[in-house]
């Protein structure tokens, strides 16, 4: 088959395919696919070598057009449509290494923050190899294995549920961080009869008052919008306010994950395999960026040391 006609019936079937694909756990991803697909179905009559080239040239710099076309390939297989979209192999742009902070720099910034802001940033940094912002927003008191608290146990395990690509993982947290969270739980009044924290999400970004009608009608859509609202809140009230004055560096939430992992690797000799697992990376090659950072530091250090 030389091309596939882009009919309205095909579009409806494709939308149903991505909406019911259990591998897609993010409503944002579904919206992203449908956003670019809508433009493609409106402008082009068919999928062919020429139209694929035109689509990628027109849209791919600003949208995830290639990812949508790959998903369309999966749809063709599912529908037994004899057509395979082929992509030219090109060089991937070099991965940009995010700016990072030293542990002391982060402590200095934390000391300028109100208590709840400090607690949020501490959780991002201290749990495992660092949390994604969505993971922090969705973190619940019950995700922490409080029963592991004891004088002899230096770590407490934390379950990070339904993270990127719908995967869950268990990561360690130092007992000192767990004690700080219990103190915070006491301040916000969620200590139960057992003497340990109980309840839903650890951090509240107006959950009880946020779009209650939507929550009743479409809980999945509500959850997507609540996480986006909470993300914007964190960026505005914490990162744009307290991290904007770090000289010559753009510190983002993701920078904290890189900072934490770099510390674990270079200062505490934690294995790259553990760091990768704690980060929730599906491929260890994604984590190797931290090794590249350490190798660069090694070269700079040896350059200063010299020889005999």
Same domain (yes/no): 142, 67? no
Do 129 and 13 lie in a common domain? no
Same domain, 116 and 47: no
Q: Check whether residue 253 and residue 292 sit in a common domain.
A: yes
Domain membership of residue 86 (yes or no) is no
Same domain, 138 and 60: no
- Answer whether 0.75 is exceeded by the pTM: no
Per residue in 104-154, pLDDT (tens digit) is 999 999 999 998 999 999 999 999 988 988 899 999 999 999 999 887 888
Residue 307 in any domain: the answer is no
The residues, any chain, with a CB within 8 Å of residue 128's CB and separated by 6 or more, are 158, 160, 169, 171, 172, 173, 278, 279
- Paired with 27 in beta bridges are none
Are 60 and 124 part of one and the same domain? no
The per-residue pLDDT for range 23-43, each reduced to its tens digit, is 776 677 888 888 899 999 999
Q: Which residues of the chain have pLDDT under 50?
A: 301-302, 306, 308
Residue 47 β-bridge partners: 4
Question: Looking at the 3D structure of the chain, how many domains does it have?
Answer: 2
Residue 188 lies in a domain: yes
Q: What is the CATH number of the domain that holds 182?
A: 1.10.443.10
Q: Do residues 60 and 117 both lie within one domain?
A: no
Say which DSSP state 215 is in: H
* Residue 39 lies in domain: 4-78
Q: Which residues lie across from 160 on neighbouring strands?
A: 169
The pLDDT assigned to 292 comes to 57
Res 31: pLDDT: 83
Query: Is position 95 within any domain?
Result: no
In a domain, 97, yes or no: no
If asked whether residues 230 and 267 sit together in one domain, one would say: yes
Does some domain include residue 33?
yes
The answer on 173 and 289 residing in a single domain is yes
Answer with the one of 21, 43, 78 that is the final residue of a domain: 78
Residue 135 shares a structural domain with residue 52? no
């Amino acid at each position: 088959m030389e091309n596939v006609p882009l009919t309205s019936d095909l579009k409806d079937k494709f939308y149903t395919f991505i909406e019911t694909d259990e591998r897609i756990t993010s409503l944002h991803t579904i919206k992203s696919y449908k956003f670019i697909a809508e433009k493609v179905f409106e402008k082009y009559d068919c999928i062919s070598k020429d139209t694929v080239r035109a689509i990628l040239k027109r849209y791919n710099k600003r949208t995830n057009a290639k990812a949508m076309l790959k998903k369309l390939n999966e749809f063709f297989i599912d529908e037994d449509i004899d057509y395979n979209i082929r992509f030219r192999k090109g060089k991937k742009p070099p991965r940009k290494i995010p700016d990072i902070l030293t542990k002391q720099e982060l402590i200095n910034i934390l000391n300028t923050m109100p208590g709840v802001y400090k607690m949020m940033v501490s959780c991002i940094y201290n749990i495992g190899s660092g949390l994604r912002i969505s993971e922090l927003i969705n973190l619940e008191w019950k995700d922490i294995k409080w029963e592991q608290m004891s004088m002899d146990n230096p770590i407490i395990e934390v379950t990070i549920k339904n993270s990127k690509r719908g995967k869950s993982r268990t990561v360690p947290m130092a007992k000192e961080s767990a004690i700080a969270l219990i103190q915070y739980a006491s301040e916000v009044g969620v200590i139960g009869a057992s003497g340990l924290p109980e309840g839903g999400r650890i951090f509240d970004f107006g959950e009880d008052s946020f779009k209650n009608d939507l929550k009743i009608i479409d809980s999945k859509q509500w959850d997507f919008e609540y996480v986006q609202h909470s993300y914007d809140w964190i960026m505005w009230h914490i990162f744009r306010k307290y991290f904007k004055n770090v000289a010559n560096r753009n510190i983002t939430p993701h920078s904290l994950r890189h900072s934490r992992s770099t510390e674990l690797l270079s200062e505490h000799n934690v294995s790259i395999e553990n760091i990768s697992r704690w980060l929730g990376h599906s491929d260890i090659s994604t984590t190797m960026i931290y090794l590249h950072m350490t190798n660069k530091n090694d070269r700079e250090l040896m350059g200063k040391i010299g020889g005999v």
